[in-house]
Chain A
Amino acid sequence: MISSFALAGYAAAELLRHNPVGILVWLVAAVIGHDLLLMPLYTLADRSVLTVFRHRPLKLPAGAWINYLRVPAVLSGMLLLIWFPLIFRLPTRFPASTTLPLNPYLWHWLAVTGALFLLSATALALRLGAVRRRARNGPAPEQTAGPTSDEDPGLPEPPDRPAGTSLPDAPLLDVQGAATTLYAATGDGPAVLVFYRGAWSPYCRVTLSAYQEQLLPQLAERGITLVAISPQKPDGSLVMQHEHGLAFSVVSDPGNTIAGRLGLRTQPPDECQAAQLRLGLDLTGVNADGTVTLPTPAVVILDASHTVRWIEVRPDYSTRTEPQQVTGALDHLGL
């Protein structure tokens, strides 16, 4: 590092001999001018267009639309950024020196810009055509139980697993450690399952607390059961229920059987486990099966026949499904 700075200093000293003020102005302008002038301008332009598109009723989410505008605009802008001296005919001695005229560059750039937008528009038209064809032919047979993103842009983006999986019954342990089952916990009607990691996780505690306050009353009105499932030993479930005054079922699923059926099993990375041990948290002692396997936090809506009608998975453990999202989904499903 020292030799690099020495090298820079030597070169900079030579550079600065030529026109120190001019050069320093250039360097500072370079760093700041781009980041503080051009960057906010691009972002502002991008966000404005995004806002406009979001409010229009479209068959595609705004995210996909914007790229058909963004890509040709940015590519054209980059060409302009590089070649603007020739395009705007700024080097006045060019024709006399090279015998080549300056006129064509503006037209060439406009033509390339036009071609880029035309290509983009064609690609978008093709894609819209494909979407309309799919919508006309009806949804795929294995997804009759659930909505697809093409037909219902109102629902949040559904995850990887298809709605419509039917969950078989599975053994669980209640807060006292007594054996129970999934079907017993959910009861006869529809249910909302919350997969959480454990009483040791502050995020999980805050989440279940919030569901107790904001979600449970709404579910009770609709006659829907709320069940919280984790891989902890029943002690952990008991702690969770008592500390937060949870008035809904808090059960243990040793080995994450149900989470596993939905593909939600995960393990914290090694550095995370090491950090946990340093803080005095040993998952192998906390979890009923003695492993460090955890469920990815998720919320599932089951209908009366225990079929998954909606699922939201949150791999980023620091954010969780909002109560409004759950009630919104229930409204949409008519449950």
Chain B
Amino acid sequence: MKLRPRSPLKSPLASPPPGPFRRSFWHSPVRGPWLTSMFGLVLLASIPVVFATGLLSYAAYNPDLSPVNDETRGKGLLGFYLFSWPTHPVWLYRLTQGVHVTLGLILVPILLFKLWSVLPKLFEWPPLRSPAHALERLSLFLLVGGAVFEFVTGILDIQTWYKFPGSFYPLHFYGAWVFTAGFVVHVTLKLPVMIRALRSRSLLGELRTGLAKMRPEPPDAGYLAPVEPAEPTISRRGLLAFAGAGSALIAILAVGQSLGGPLRRTALLAPHGQDVSGAPGDFQVNRTAASVGIKESETGADWRLTLVDDTRPGHPPVVLRRDALLRVEQHTAHLPIACVEGWSTDDQAWSGVRLRDLARLAGVTRPASVLVRSLQRGGAFSQAVLSAGQIMNPDSLLALRVNGADLSPDHGYPARVIVPANPGVHNTKWVASLTFRG
């Protein structure tokens, strides 16, 4: 028996049209404010971490050091937080970017379940009750649209399937701010509601309540609670476990590509979850020499490294052959490669000439920055600028050999830059010249 005493005060115009606009259309017996608040709590804790690691990822490129490093040149005030990216610990970028991508992937089931749990509110009636209500709905448009935009652009980018309306970097950066603005408004408005809903039932009690004993949240708990619930087929704790299982599965199948080593192959569906075939001591490749058009004639015996002293314009550059470089004092550093796509390698044993020694060779005693140019023509990362801190670090090398052998062509032969805590694309391969600035 369904009992709904009619309120004499309700205007006939306020009656919602049939279909999903009516609260009675939604039959799921597990939906309700408490369930939504549980998913909301997980997102509340995790999204700031994803956002922060994302901001750090942009900072890691040292975009304020030079426009060459900045893929998002119109950022303006949104770059207020930028700082000079450190060089220690050597695994810093590996950690921040690994967390950003892996946590983002893990949140996909939570996000999907949360959207499912609030679906009735997309159709709430009347659609615009007041200006304040309209503002709230606008913030939700930014939140949901922004979230899906961010997750989709990120997930497509890590699989190198670049089907976006523009370049990934600015899209993902600005989209993050739009999403975050919606997120802040949403949390501000809904935090009291969430806390009240979470307090309305005990978590331990819910975890002990199986399907037989579960009862739907009562209609007066909130709009999301069902007024005509169907027979339950899963309990609330079952649904939470379901979402958790989804996240755990995704985590298990992705984290191997960031941890590397023997665990790499557990990342069955991740882009860098396979071992490279090749000699032992070989490791993941981001772009092969052939794929960026490096010709063997350029990297052979005719290759020269040009060191330019920009503090003395007109001063002739120092030009070195590869065997001359090998005769300069060599140093070995154990450094990983960490990519913006979230995957990384373990520490490899790089050996080559310290960047600060090359600065001295060029005649620059206190370099402020260096412009590294690659043999690669075109492409976003055929050049990069490194900071003073990065040049002076004793582990920053122009590497000539790795893991006891010469660099392979795919790893940047004849020479590549390797700097601790650097994003992978700034460890320029197939280096042609270094221009030091004072």
Who on chain B is nearest to A98 by CB? B285
* Residue in A11, A18, A63, A79 whose beta carbon sits within 8 Å of that of B233 in the complex: A63
Give the residue of A50, A66, A100, A316 whose beta carbon is less than 8 angstroms from that of B215.
A316
Q: Interface 1/0s, chain B 1-21, versus A by CB < 8 A? A: 111110000000000000000
| Chain B 331-344 interface mask (CB, 8 Å, partner A; 1/0) | 00000000000000
A11 nearest CB neighbor, chain B only: B177
Chain A residues whose C-beta falls within 8 Å of the C-beta of B149 in the assembled complex? 26-27, 30
- How many whole Å from B50's CB to the nearest CB in chain A? 15
**Contacts of A278-335 to chain B: CB distance below 8 A:** 315-316, 318-322
B interface residue count range (under 10 / 10 to 19 / 20 to 34 / 35 or more)? 35 or more
Q: Does B177 lie within 8 Å of A7, measured CB to CB?
A: yes
Chain A hits for B5, CB < 8 A:
202-203, 206
Chain B 72-104, CB within 8 Å of chain A: the 1/0 string? 001111100000000000000000000000000
Q: Mark B235-264, 1 if CB is under 8 A from A, else 0.
A: 000100010011001100100000000000
* B195 interfacial by beta-carbon distance below 8 Å: no
> A210: nearest residue on chain B (CB-CB)?
B1
In the complex, chain B residues 288-305 whose Cβ is within 8 Å of any chain A Cβ: 288, 290-291
Judge whether A97 and B291 touch: CB under 8 Å.
Answer: yes
* Chain B positions 150 through 170: 1 when the CB is less than 8 Å from some CB of chain A, otherwise 0: 001001100111100111001
- Residue B423 lies at the interface, judged by CB distance under 8 Å to chain A: no
- B108 adjacent to A98 (CB under 8 Å): no
CB distance from A202 to the nearest CB of B (A): 5
Contact indicator B160/A93 (Cβ below 8 Å):
yes
Picked from A75, A79, A98, A108, the residue with its CB within 8 Å of the CB of B271 is: A98
Are A11's CB and B78's CB within 8 A? yes
Are B234 and A63 neighbours in the complex by a CB distance under 8 Å? yes
Cβ contacts A2-21/B at 8 Å (1 or 0 each): 00110110111011011100
Contact A99 B74 (CB under 8 A): no
- Say whether B119 contacts A18, CB under 8 Å: no
Is A67 positioned at the interface, with any CB of B under 8 Å from its CB? yes
Q: Are A203 and B288 in contact (CB under 8 A)?
A: no
Contact B155 A318 (CB under 8 A): no
A140 within 8 A of B: no
CB of A8 within 8 A of CB of B269, answer no
CB pair B181–A7 under 8 Å, yes or no, is yes
Q: Are B185 and A108 in contact (CB under 8 A)?
A: no
How distant is B244 from chain A, measured CB to nearest CB, in Å? Answer: 11
A160 cross-chain contacts in B, Cβ below 8 A: 213
Docked-complex contact A64 and B152, CB < 8 angstroms: no
A91 touches B109 (CB 8 A): no
Q: Flag if A319 contacts B142 (CB, 8 Å).
A: no
Which of A81-89, A165-173, A231-239, A240-248 contacts its partner? A81-89
Q: Is A90 interfacial (CB-CB < 8 Å)?
A: yes
A28 at the B interface (CB under 8 A): yes
Total contacts A-B at CB 8 Å: 213
Contact status B178-A318, CB under 8 Å: no
* B177 contacts across to A, CB distance below 8 A: 7-8, 10-11
Interface string of A21-55 (1 = CB under 8 A from B): 01101111011001100010000000000100000
Q: How far, in angstroms, from A16 to B116 measured CA to CA in the complex?
A: 29
The distance in angstroms between the C-alpha atoms of A70 and B239, with both chains bound, is: 11
Asked if A94 and B160 make an inter-chain contact with CB atoms under 8 angstroms apart, the answer reads yes
B202 at the interface (CB under 8 A from A): no
Whether B268 is near chain A, meaning CB under 8 Å from some CB there, is yes
Q: Is the CB of B74 within 8 A of A17?
A: yes
Which of B4, B109, B269, B270 gathers most chain A CB within 10 Å?
A: B269
Most interface-central of B141, B145, B246, B272 (chain A CB within 10 A): B145
Interface residues of A, dominant DSSP: helix
- The answer to the question of B148 belonging to the interface, with a C-beta cut-off of 8 Å to chain A, is yes
Query: Is the Cβ of B178 less than 8 Å from the Cβ of A78?
Result: no
Q: Which residues of B contact A101 (CB under 8 A)?
A: 274
Bound-state Cα–Cα, A10 to B274, Å: 42
Q: Report yes or no: B166 in contact with A23, Cβ–Cβ below 8 A.
A: yes
* Cβ of A112 under 8 Å from chain B: yes
- In the complex the two chains form, is B245's CB within 8 Å of A4's CB? no
CB proximity of A273 to chain B, nearest CB, Å: 13
CB of A155 closer than 8 Å to a CB of B: no
B112 within 8 A of A: yes
The one of B160, B167, B269, B272 in contact with A108, judged by C-beta atoms closer than 8 angstroms, is: B269
At the interface, yes or no: A152 with Cβ under 8 Å from chain B? no
Contacts of B242 in A (CB 8 A): 71, 74
| Residue numbers in A under 8 Å from B381 (CB-CB) | none
Are A18 and B139 interface neighbours, CB within 8 A? no
CA distance A95 to B397 in the complex (A): 29
Name which residue of chain B comes closest to A9, CB basis. B181
Tell whether, in the assembled complex, residue A82 and residue B250 are in contact, meaning their CB atoms are under 8 Å apart. yes
Q: How far is the CA of A100 from the CA of B286 in the complex (A)?
A: 10
Cβ–Cβ < 8 Å partners of B290 in chain A: 96
| Also in contact, A30 and B181, with CB within 8 A (given A35-B115, A78-B108, A82-B250) | no
Within the complex, what minimum Cβ distance (angstroms) separates B39 from chain A? 15
Inter-chain contact B246/A75, CB cutoff 8 Å: yes
Residue numbers of B with Cβ under 8 A of A are: 1-5, 74-78, 105, 108-109, 112, 115-116, 119, 122, 135, 138-139, 141-142, 144-146, 148-149, 152, 155-156, 159-162, 165-167, 170-171, 174-175, 177-178, 180-182, 184-185, 188-189, 211-213, 215-216, 218-219, 227, 231-234, 238, 242, 245-246, 249-250, 253, 268-272, 274, 276-278, 284-288, 290-291, 410
If A35-B119, A94-B159 are given as contacts, then 13 extra A-B residue pairs at C-beta distance below 8 Å, sorted by A number, are A4-B139, A8-B142, A18-B165, A25-B165, A50-B233, A70-B234, A78-B109, A78-B112, A79-B253, A85-B159, A85-B161, A98-B272, A149-B212
Can you list 19 A-B contacts with CB-CB less than 8 angstroms, sorted by A residue number? Answer: A1-B185, A8-B142, A11-B175, A26-B165, A30-B145, A34-B115, A63-B211, A78-B109, A79-B253, A82-B105, A83-B159, A86-B159, A94-B159, A97-B287, A99-B277, A100-B272, A100-B274, A315-B215, A318-B219
Nearest 7 Cβ contacts at the A-B interface = A22-B165, A8-B181, A30-B148, A63-B233, A11-B177, A15-B174, A27-B145
List chain A positions with a Cβ less than 8 A from chain B: 1, 4-5, 7-8, 10-12, 14-15, 17-19, 22-23, 25-28, 30-31, 34-35, 39, 50, 62-64, 66-67, 70-71, 74-75, 78-79, 81-83, 85-87, 90-91, 93-94, 96-101, 104-105, 108-109, 111-112, 149, 157, 160, 202-203, 206-207, 210, 315-316, 318-322
